Structures are given as C-alpha cells and as structure tokens.
C-alpha cells in the first residue's frame, strides 16, 4: 500500500529545498571576502588601464 502524503506539506518541503539550493548557489557566486573583491577589482582596473595605454589614436 502506498504512503499517504499531505500535498501542502510536500509543496512546502519542495519550496524549502529549492530555496536552500539557491542560497548555496548564491554563496558560491557572491561569497567572496572584501580582500578578494578588492584584488579582482584592482586586477580589472589594471587590465583596463594597460589596454587603454596601448590604443592607437
């Protein structure tokens, strides 16, 4: 015999699981320390300056 499932509770459980997965994805995507952000910003700025310096007018 099959187990009886409350659909409302199943939907809530699924929604909580999806929310947790999205939170984990956001942590990996945006979870950088301030020092890491500064370093990547500095590298990007240096690359842009180097490229601008090599342009021919």
In a domain, 24, yes or no: yes
Any idea what the Cα angle at residue 49 is, between residues 46 and 50, rounded to 5°? 85
Range of the domain at 43: 7-53
In a domain, 2, yes or no: no
Q: How many domains does the chain have?
A: 1
In a domain, 30, yes or no: yes
End-to-end CA separation in angstroms for the chain? 79
DSSP letters along 22-47, please? HHHHHHHHH---HHHHHHHHHHHHHH
- Give the residue with greater pLDDT, 19 vs 55: 19
Average pLDDT rounded to a whole number, residues 28-57: 90
In a domain, 1, yes or no: no
Express each pLDDT in 14-41 by its tens digit.
Answer: 999 999 999 999 988 888 888 998 999 9
Strand, coil or helix: 4: coil
């Amino acid at each position: 015999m099959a187990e009886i499932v409350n659909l409302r509770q199943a939907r809530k459980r699924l929604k909580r699981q999806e929310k947790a997965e999205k939170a984990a994805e956001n942590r990996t995507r945006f979870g950088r320390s301030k020092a890491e952000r500064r370093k990547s910003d500095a590298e990007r700025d240096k690359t842009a300056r180097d490229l601008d310096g090599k342009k021919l007018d």
